[in-house]
Homo-oligomer: A and B are copies of this chain.
């Protein structure tokens, strides 16, 4: 259908019930709108600002839930890895391995992900230029894996804010399919509380701009109860708003496809 694809789900796998509930609803919406869908969930939160933040329910347990979501709803899944040894482990359960933005310069990790043969989703470092992502993609290709994707999740702007540089979308499409992460792009890091803030009211603004500038896919975290989610509550989209948002974006994509 030449639509954009969607990577979406909760920030962290908090348990089976919540994962299945979110997946079921997103599958329903994306089927209706003919959007290719990949379920997203972190099996572990490894880079939280504070030591007392929630980090996960157990690696194996969370990965099995991802597998169950995949089998139940017949959708591929994506999760992020943080150490070389995570690559082979996670590859047994999911279809796409994601390299977090802070870690995208770690050659060993990128190569380990690439060597599993799974698609590698490289998040652009908040401190990297769009152009510099070509070197990250090349690390995947030079490992004999042609399946790289690049996800933009915003660029640092001062200490406590991020901006999406939309010039980066066409630039990075020269290196790999490009995804825009519309929820993390709106984070406001380095808050005095040690808990990252956000601007979820701007999700549609940023998502529209991504679609119109040619992204191949969108990434967003969504939850039926963001305020009580165990991580990133300040940024996730409420699941109830997802259908209207995607419906608007599909209409824009159709127009863009026709130009």
Contact = CB atoms under 8 A, between A and B. Distances in A.
A91 interface: no
A194 interface: yes
A169 interface: yes
Which bracket fits the contact residues of A? 35 or more
Interface in A134-188: 134-135, 138-139, 142, 155-161, 163-167, 169-170, 186
A130 to B, nearest CB: 8
B160 A105 contact: no
A49 B161 contact: no
Given A158-B161, A166-B209, A208-B213, A49 B131 contact: no
A129 B84 CA distance: 28
A212 interface: yes
B131 A190 contact: yes
| Stoichiometry, copies per complex | 4
A192 B51 contact: no
A72 interface: no
A229 interface: no
Contacts of A169: 205
Contacts of A132: 49, 159, 189-190, 194
Interface in A108-141: 108, 111, 125-129, 131-132, 134-135, 138-139
Given A83-B83, A157-B163, A209-B213, 12 more contacts: A48-B107, A50-B135, A50-B138, A50-B139, A51-B142, A82-B106, A127-B189, A158-B161, A163-B167, A164-B166, A205-B214, A208-B256
